[in-house]
């Protein structure tokens, strides 16, 4: 297992390199980069500490022009010195290949640089945002597993019954409801919208959180996170529940279960001692995908709606602003966590079923 683990860890390096490289060159050809935005702001008088200004029409021309244009920036209302200063400030005075290799060398050392538009380092911003996203993702994944696995087992045991039919209907309806739409409904009903005002709408803690005793801090934290977690998990039950049900149905119909029943073994003993270990393999395999979907994609709109300063919201804002260091820094962390979770999934395979030997493969 050790050799297999080393190989998987080494594969992380080329995977990270390929993803970062592909996105780096795609972003370079995308219009409206940070230099263009800074120049347009300077034209509109929104940039401080820079000499020169222009009218709105010239600002639009600066935003829409390209680096290959012979009339690039300076002749369109901005002093060429201002253009050179802005270009140098954002590091675009260097050739493309030099910026690329500099970025790779910095990322090897986990040096993501500073944000282009905020007075903070990228690693500091990630450290501040990561706990929020991890907290939301972990609680959502935990609730999904605690509900879906027992529910899937019960549906398999009572396959075709009335309970199986109406529970399938409920989870499919929940799956069809978008998380953001359910979040809006929760806000309207329980967060001071039009009915009840039971839960807060912003953040994960209250302003006076630091002064509260530890037990009040726990209650305050759960008070804030209740609605975001409920909005996140609404669509997550269907896949895992049906996967658990089908896995158990497949195992229950196998010969060793028929033999165990013929020997007179207790049904619960057969179900949870023999069937459970074999049926849970597919469920465990889906853990990384479930957590990643909660952590990255599913939580983005929820973080926006409930004003949670998480990693998804940070990456989204950076993309809108063309804040390249933050964009690539969050992408790097996203990819690294996803790859490590996949390795963790393989290790969990061997814990559940020692017969699986990845190294032998």
Q: Which domains does the chain have, with CATH numbers?
A: 32-109 (no CATH), 123-352 (1.10.3720.10)
CA distance 266 to 253: 16
Question: According to the model, what pLDDT value does residue 352 have?
Answer: 64
Question: According to the model, what pLDDT value does residue 53 have?
Answer: 38
Question: Each residue of 119-177: pLDDT tens digit?
Answer: 788 888 888 888 888 888 888 888 988 898 889 888 988 888 899 899 999 999 888 88
Question: According to the model, what pLDDT value does residue 359 have?
Answer: 60
Cβ neighbours, 10 Å, residue 259: 11
Q: The dihedral of CA 50, 51, 55, 60: what is its sign?
A: negative
The angle formed by the CA atoms of residues 300, 302 and 304, to the nearest 5 degrees, is 75
Residue spans of the chain under pLDDT 70:
1, 30-79, 81-83, 85-86, 88-91, 193, 282, 285-286, 288-289, 292-299, 351-361
Question: Each residue of 329-341: pLDDT tens digit?
Answer: 888 887 888 788 7
Question: According to the model, what pLDDT value does residue 69 have?
Answer: 43
At 212, list the tokens: 């509260």
Q: Are 125 and 333 in contact (CB under 8 A)?
A: no
Question: According to the model, what pLDDT value does residue 75 have?
Answer: 36
CA distance 258 to 264: 10
Spell out the alpha helix ranges (H) of 65-213.
80-89, 96-108, 122-157, 162-176, 179-190
The SS3 call for residue 160 is coil
Question: According to the model, what pLDDT value does residue 166 have?
Answer: 92
CA distance 200 to 325: 33
Question: According to the model, what pLDDT value does residue 355 have?
Answer: 66
Question: According to the model, what pLDDT value does residue 59 have?
Answer: 41
Cβ neighbours, 10 Å, residue 190: 17
CA distance 39 to 63: 7
């Amino acid at each position: 297992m050790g050799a297999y683990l080393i190989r998987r860890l080494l594969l992380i390096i080329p995977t990270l390199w390929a993803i970062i490289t592909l996105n780096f060159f795609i972003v370079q050809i995308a219009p409206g980069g940070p230099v263009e935005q800074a120049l347009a702001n300077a034209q509109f008088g929104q940039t401080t500490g820079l000499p020169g200004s222009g009218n709105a029409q010239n600002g639009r021309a600066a935003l829409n022009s390209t680096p290959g244009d012979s009339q690039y920036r300076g002749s369109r209302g901005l002093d060429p010195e201002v253009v050179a200063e802005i270009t140098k400030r954002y590091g675009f005075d260097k050739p493309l290949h030099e910026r690329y290799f500099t970025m790779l060398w910095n990322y090897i050392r986990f040096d993501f640089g500073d944000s282009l538009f905020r007075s903070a380092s990228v690693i500091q911003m990630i450290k501040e945002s990561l706990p929020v996203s991890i907290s939301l993702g972990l609680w959502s994944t935990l609730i999904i597993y605690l509900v879906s696995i027992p529910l899937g087992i019960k549906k398999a045991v009572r396959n075709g019954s009335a309970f199986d039919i109406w529970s399938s209907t409920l989870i499919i309806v929940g799956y069809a409801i978008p998380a953001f739409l359910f979040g809006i409904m929760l806000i309207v009903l329980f967060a001071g919208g039009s009915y009840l005002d039971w839960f807060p709408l912003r953040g994960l803690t209250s302003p006076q959180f630091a002064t509260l005793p530890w037990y009040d801090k726990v209650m305050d934290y759960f008070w804030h996170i209740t609605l975001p977690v409920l909005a996140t998990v609404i669509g997550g039950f269907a896949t895992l529940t049906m996967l658990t049900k089908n896995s158990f149905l497949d195992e229950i119909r196998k010969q060793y279960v028929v033999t165990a029943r013929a020997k007179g073994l207790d049904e619960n003993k057969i179900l949870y001692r023999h069937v459970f270990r074999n049926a849970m393999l597919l469920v465990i395999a889906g853990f990384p995908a479930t957590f990643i979907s909660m952590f990255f994609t599913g939580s983005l709109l929820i973080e926006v709606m409930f004003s949670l300063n998480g990693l998804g919201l940070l990456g989204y804002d950076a993309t809108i602003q063309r804040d390249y260091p933050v964009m690539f820094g969050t992408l790097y962390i996203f990819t690294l966590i996803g790859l490590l979770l996949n390795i963790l999934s393989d290790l969990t395979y061997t814990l559940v079923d020692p017969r699986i030997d990845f190294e032998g493969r």
